Amino acid sequence: MKQKFISLGLALAMLLGVAGCNVTTPATVGTIGGVEIPAGIYLLAQYNAYNTTASLVDFATGESADDVKVVLNAQVTGTINGEEVTTDGADYIHRLTLSSIEYYAATEALFDQLGATLEDAATSEVATTADSMWESNGDVYEANGIARTTLEKYLTNAQKAAACLQALYGPDGQEPVTDGEYEQFVQEDCRYIESVVLPMVDYSTYTYAFTDETMESAIEAIADECVNFLTQNTGTEPLNDYAAMYQAASQYVPRVMAVLGSTAETAQAGSFVSGSLYLPNDLANYDDDNGGNLLTDALDEAGMGCWTKINLTSSLVVARQMDPLKTYDIDTYKESYDLLGAMKQDELRDRLYADGAAMEHQLDEGAMNTYKASNIKHSV
């Protein structure tokens, strides 16, 4: 359940490809706040910006993200550091690239300022992830003049951001988050949810039940039975009702699978039962297009401790919310979830973007032109 402050998943997304022609010089594109910006880091930032920009382009038939000129000339609208921007693709890429290398520089500077250090586990993770990335996409990197050491440098910067988070807000940090603040966050911004998941997709064929109204109606009826069963066989005290939840899953999941034309062993039913603290980012995954939330709106309507069914398209979830601080103590949540990241990562991210933008920029326009976006190789 733990979340990384700057996830390595994001690093992977940035490094699916790289930009620029195969050149060995210049080695850097200048400095920001005295922090050197290696050419490789610049190329990674630019390619990430390219991919983001391409995702905003309304391509005509036959066009794709491989059409670099189309992306550069397209009119796009998106958000950069909280500000909505409408401009051409080339300018949008430039702005995003600059913001990214500013963030990189600010992270390096703050890490040194705080006297932060990286644990062996962090450096080991960097090496392992770089190996995996190089094995998967080494041909792309080599084709664009990117060395494996560049991958390590970028991943290390991400680990440094996580170390800064701890150095500022961790238990031994400059402004440590108190248990009272953690408790308020868990109580007000998170949800502890118990659930039995009734699938609406046959995982052997990936056939969704909602394509067949008869199947969907049958599963809805089974979900109603599950709600009634749990309402009758559970109480209001947390952690006392998992036996009933497993029993419900054992009864109703196989019946749902039968409707879908599939099978599920009774022993497998436990995998459809869960109890978990949902952090704000988890809950945001269920936001709808009308300012509501599919999960929390239904739970709030049902009331604390009351079972209800929630249609999440690929599944019908029979769920209830429980008071999180009556379920586990705050120390347990701190050990099991990245509460610090959930509370403070956005604040630190905004600070790093602002710090980077405010730093003195001594960038080499000639060097950046050498690695201009029109040289991007989106695939090889």
CB of 270 closer than 8 Å to CB of 249: yes
Same domain, yes or no: 233 and 123: no
In the prediction, which pLDDT does 203 show?
Answer: 63
Give the model's confidence band at 12: pLDDT under 50 very low, under 70 low, under 90 confident, else very high. very low
Confidence of residue 270 (pLDDT cuts 50, 70, 90): confident
Residues 50 and 97 sit within 8 Å (Cβ to Cβ): no
Same domain, 13 and 162: yes
Asked whether the predicted pLDDT for residue 154 surpasses 60, the reply is: yes
CA 290 to CA 237: how far, in whole Å? 34
pLDDT tens digits for range 228-239: 999 999 987 777
pLDDT of residue 7: 47
In a domain, 336, yes or no: no
Same domain, 173 and 195: no
Instruction: Indicate whether 103 and 143 sit together in one domain.
Output: yes
Residues 58 and 157 in one domain: yes
The CA distance from 350 to 364, in Å, is 26
Dihedral angle computed from the Cα positions of residues 194, 196, 197 and 198, in that order, rounded to the nearest 10 degrees: -150
Does residue 284 share a domain with residue 230? yes
pLDDT of 15 over the 70 cut? no
Per-residue pLDDT at 329 exceeds 50: yes
Q: Is 219 among the domain residues?
A: yes
Residues 251 and 169 in one domain: no
Instruction: Report how many domains make up the chain.
Output: 2
Distance CA 298, CA 291 (A): 14
pLDDT at 94 over 90: yes
Based on the fold, state whether residues 217 and 291 are members of the same structural domain: yes
d(CA 180, CA 243): 33
Here the tokens at position 312 are: 């999440």
DSSP-derived 3-state class of residue 43: helix
C-alpha–C-alpha distance, residues 234 and 231, integer Å:
6
Q: Is residue 218 over pLDDT 70?
A: yes
Q: Which domain holds residue 77?
A: 8-177+342-375
pLDDT at 264: 63
Residue 147 or 227, more confident:
227
Q: Which residues pair with 195 in a beta bridge?
A: 274, 319
The percent of residues in the chain predicted with pLDDT above 90, rounded, is 69
pLDDT given at position 86: 97
Lowest model confidence (mean pLDDT) among 45-54, 81-90, 206-215:
206-215
If asked whether residues 250 and 346 sit together in one domain, one would say no
DSSP lists the bridge partners of residue 317 as 197, 310
Query: 41 with 159: CB under 8 angstroms?
Result: no
Stretch among 84-98, 130-144, 285-299 having the lowest mean pLDDT = 130-144
Q: Across residues 138-156, what is the average pLDDT?
A: 84
Q: Enumerate the β-bridge partners of residue 35.
A: 32
Tokens representing residue 315 in the block: 């599944």
- What gap in Å lies between CA 206 and CA 100, rounded to an integer? 39
Please answer whether residues 359 and 271 qualify as being in contact, where contact means their C-beta atoms are separated by less than 8 angstroms.
no
Q: Per-residue confidence at 211, pLDDT binned at 50, 70, 90?
A: low
Residue range 267-280: average pLDDT? 88
Does residue 267 belong to any structural domain of this protein?
Answer: yes
> Do 213 and 238 fall into the same domain?
yes
pLDDT mean over 157-175: 96
Asked whether residue 1 is domain-assigned, the answer is: no
Residue 310 reports pLDDT greater than 80: yes
Average pLDDT on 332-357 reads 96
pLDDT band for position 145 (50/70/90)? confident
* Domain assignment of residue 335, yes or no: no
Q: For position 267, what pLDDT does the model report?
A: 60
49 near 100, Cβ under 8 Å?
yes
**Residues 267 and 313 placed together within one structural domain of the fold:** yes
Count of CB atoms situated within 10 Å of the CB of 297: 13
**Is 151 contained in some domain?**
yes
Q: Are residues 12 and 54 located together in one domain of the fold?
A: yes
Give the closest residue to 333 by CA, choosing from 274, 271, 273, 276. 276
pLDDT at 209: 56
Residue 251's CATH number? 3.10.50
For the segment 199-212, the average pLDDT, to the nearest whole number, is 66
Please tell me which residue, 64 or 268, carries the higher pLDDT value: 64
Better-scored residue on pLDDT, 272 or 240: 272
Residue 117, CA distances (Å) to 42, 96, 185, 309 in order? 24, 28, 28, 47
* Residue 14 reports pLDDT greater than 50: no
pLDDT over threshold 80, residue 16: no
Kindly report the backbone phi and psi dihedral angles of residue 30, in degrees, each rounded to the nearest multiple of 5, phi listed first: 115, -160
Is residue 218 assigned to a domain? yes
Which pLDDT value is given to residue 205?
A: 64
Structural domain contains residue 186: no
Q: How many Å separate Cα 315 from the centre of its chain?
A: 22
- The arithmetic mean of pLDDT across residues 308-316, rounded, is 90
